[in-house]
Amino acid sequence: MGIWSSKATVLNHRALTAAKLVWHSRGLKFNEFGSFDYGRNYGVAYDIGAWTDVLPEFGGDTWTQTDGFMTGRTTGVATYRNTDFFGLVDGLNVAAQYQGKNDRNDITEANGDGWGLSSTYEMDGFGVGATYAKSDRTDRQVAAGRVANTVNAGGENAEVWAAGLKYDANNIYLATTYSETRNMTNFGSGYIANKAQNFEVVAQYQFDFGLRPSIAYLKSKGKDLGSYGDQDLVEYVDVGASYYFNKNMSTYVDYKINLVDDNSFTKATGVATDNIVAVGLTYQF
């Protein structure tokens, strides 16, 4: 079993053209006994995070982060997945994952050895799921949090738990997730929060003629951030729409209305406070 995917952004708010590799892995599938793969892949925590990461351009950024342990696309993960629980329970899916150490210089993209679990159950358009993951942190990550007057986390372990609900039927899509992370969520210009509480909710409707409007609210509250105490890391309302010309090509517009106040914390740490508009054209092979 081999998997490869790519995405091209033709135009966004900075008028950049970019193409990037999304993920790739190699593995084996054993029918009702599940599948196993290894490589660069999605972390199991993203099994829940993906439910609200469906906005045209933004979204899914309060706690699911690329190379942020097992919350998004990441490197060196061995993953076991079982669909319909060995063929015994339709809609019950489980996954277990191990991630090896990635000791990068950038502490926001590094991780120690870790493991994670996820489980989802879906029936008649309704879905419920939960995930938990725990990892060692690298020496650089721990040391960065033990400098005097820093906002960086100094714990030796990183953890995340998350739960989600969704409804996907009759052209309606509704989803919400709540999660808490410890010594894991990065923010601003390269910092990691001691603790973050994260909430995401999204609603979309698919019209028969190809239009899909979307509205969402996302918030991440950082806890015990040094002398700054508790602060908003992410908070915005997102209003957007996608239009599908056919099964291969679509266009979108997405407006991010930032609700984070511009203050001494955001200035010192580089937390974004601007509103952003993005437009794009996507072609799927």
Radius of gyration of the chain (CA): 19
Domain residue ranges of the chain, discontinuous segments joined by + = 2-283
Token representation of residue 88: 């015994």
pLDDT in tens, 94-137: 999 999 999 999 999 999 999 999 999 999 999 999 999 999 99
Residue of higher predicted confidence among 274 and 5:
274
- Three-state SS annotation for the chain: CEEEEEEEECCCCCCCCEEEEEEEEEEEECHHHCEEEEEEEECCCHHHHCCCCCCCCCCCCCCCCCCCCCCCEEEEEEEEEECHHHHCCCCEEEEEEEECCECCCCHHHCECCEEEEEEEEEECCEEEEEEEEEEECCHHHHHHCCCCCCCCCCCCEEEEEEEEEEEEECCEEEEEEEEEEECCCEECCCEECCEEEEEEEEEEECCCCCEEEEEEEEEEEEECCHHHCCEEEEEEEEEEEEEECCCCEEEEEEEEEECCCCCHHHHHHCCCCCCEEEEEEEECC
Q: Which residue has the higher pLDDT, 57 or 20?
A: 57
What value does the mean pLDDT take over residues 76-105?
97
pLDDT tens for each residue of 145-178: 999 889 999 999 999 999 999 999 999 999 999 9
- Phi/psi class of residue 84: alpha, beta or left (left: φ > 0; alpha: ψ in -120 to 50)? left
Q: Which two tokens stand for residue 198?
A: 């994260």
Measured between alpha carbons, how far apart are the two ends of the chain, in Å?
Answer: 19
Q: In the predicted model, is pLDDT for residue 35 greater than 80?
A: yes
Is the separation of the CB atoms in 136 and 112 below 8 Å? yes
Quick one: tokens of 275?
């509103």
pLDDT at 24 over 60: no
Amino acid occupying residue 172:
I
- pTM over 0.85, yes/no: yes
CATH number for 2-283 (one of 2.40.50.100, 3.40.980.10, 1.10.490.10, 2.40.160.10): it is 2.40.160.10
Label residue 30 by pLDDT band (50, 70, 90).
confident
Distance CA 73, CA 86 (A): 26
